[in-house]
Amino acid sequence: MKPQLKCKDLRCPVYVEDTDFQGVVYHANYLKYFERARSEFLKEHEISQTKALQANESFIVKKLDLEFYYPALLDDTLIVSSTAILTSKARMHFLHSARNTKNDTLIIKGVVEVCYFDGIKAKPKAFPKNLLALFG
């Protein structure tokens, strides 16, 4: 079994800016919620994306696989749950889901594959040692 780590859940209120004229969350905004969850995971473990960028390194999304179940609406609050699975020293999958806090309805789930990228060499590289250490 691949090493995995449950991430802290993230609360995401749905604001009018997140929705269309019918008050339904735009499909692309779920990717923003998932991105925030991954960013909070890194912050929680003191892994700086700013320092990575200064070193010409970055976390990049390689692949997405999403499944929508039910629409989220204006004034809903979503809980984004995530689990990070280390698949190699330079690649991990985040299993994400978002549920509505009003009724625990599953809104969306998906897998986001993330790589660590060397901007100078223009190719993947190993994640920072402090990130790899989280997986034992």
What are 82-95's pLDDT values in tens digits? 999 999 999 999 99
Instruction: For the chain, give every domain's residue range.
Output: 4-133
Question: Average pLDDT over the chain, rounded to whole?
Answer: 96
pLDDT 10s digits, 16-34: 999 999 999 999 999 999 9
Nearest-5° Cα angle at 89, 93 to 28: 25
All residues at 6 or more sequence positions from 58 whose CB lies less than 8 Å from its CB, including other chains: 49, 52, 116, 117, 119
Phi, psi dihedral angles at 90 (to 5 degrees): -125, 10
The pTM (predicted TM-score) of the whole model is 0.94
Catalytic residues: 20
- pLDDT > 70 in the chain, percent: 100
Residue 96 dihedral angles phi and psi, to the nearest 5°:
-115, 150
User: Average pLDDT for residues 73-90, to the nearest whole number?
Assistant: 97
Spatial contact of 7 and 80, defined as CB atoms under 8 Å apart:
no
Position 1 confidence tier, pLDDT thresholds 50, 70, 90 = confident
Decide: 123 and 56 in contact? Cβ < 8 Å: no
CATH of 4-133, one of 3.40.50.970, 3.40.630.30, 3.10.129.10, 3.50.50.60: 3.10.129.10
* Cross-strand partners of 117: 58, 124
